Amino acid sequence: MRNPRHTLIIGGIATLMVAILLIVTLTFYAGSSDAKSSLLVKYFRMLSSDDPASISELTSATFKTDLDISRLERGAYELYDFGEIKPGTVRFLIVVPESDGKKRAIIADMAYIRRGISNLVESIMKVDEGSDIKE
């Protein structure tokens, strides 16, 4: 028979190793470009669902934005990622329909901060915008 104490020690060490591996994996993922794009998608998904509680979970306490999007319907907007322009800032383009049927394109920067093993949106600031042009 095996000593139950040794079995518990080995089980505890194995559990600790799995936990460390999970933390390291999540830390690397939080620094990846996929995680930053995912944060951007989550923010606009929560904005379009009009769920302030979920938005507050994705944003920092000092979050600020100058996007003047009056309404955003799920599936009615287009989102494009230009990648990190500098550490901590992702540039993106969002195309939203206006009430008059025209489309409006906004280039903006999302600043994010790392909190533990996750990222939070610090700010979303407009860089430039344009409207669709009819030929």
pLDDT at residue 135 is higher than 70: no
CA distance 80 to 39: 13
Q: Are 60 and 113 in contact (CB under 8 A)?
A: yes
pTM: predicted TM-score of the whole model, two decimal places? 0.69
- The residue-averaged pLDDT of 84-111 equals 89
Q: How far apart are the first and last CA of the chain?
A: 84
pLDDT level of residue 23 (50, 70, 90 thresholds): low
- 114 or 105, which is more confident? 105
pLDDT at residue 30 is higher than 50: no
Q: What is the pLDDT of residue 24?
A: 61
CA distance 26 to 117: 6
pLDDT at residue 34 is higher than 60: no
- The count of other CB atoms within 10 Å of the CB of residue 119 is 24
Sorted by sequence, the CB contacts under 8 Å of residue 58 that are 6+ apart come out as 39, 42, 43, 46, 120, 121
Which residue type does 63 have? F
Question: What is the architecture of the domain spanning 33-131?
Answer: Roll (3.10)
97: tokens are 């329909």
Task: Give percent above pLDDT 90 in the chain.
Answer: 25
Which residue type does 78 have? E
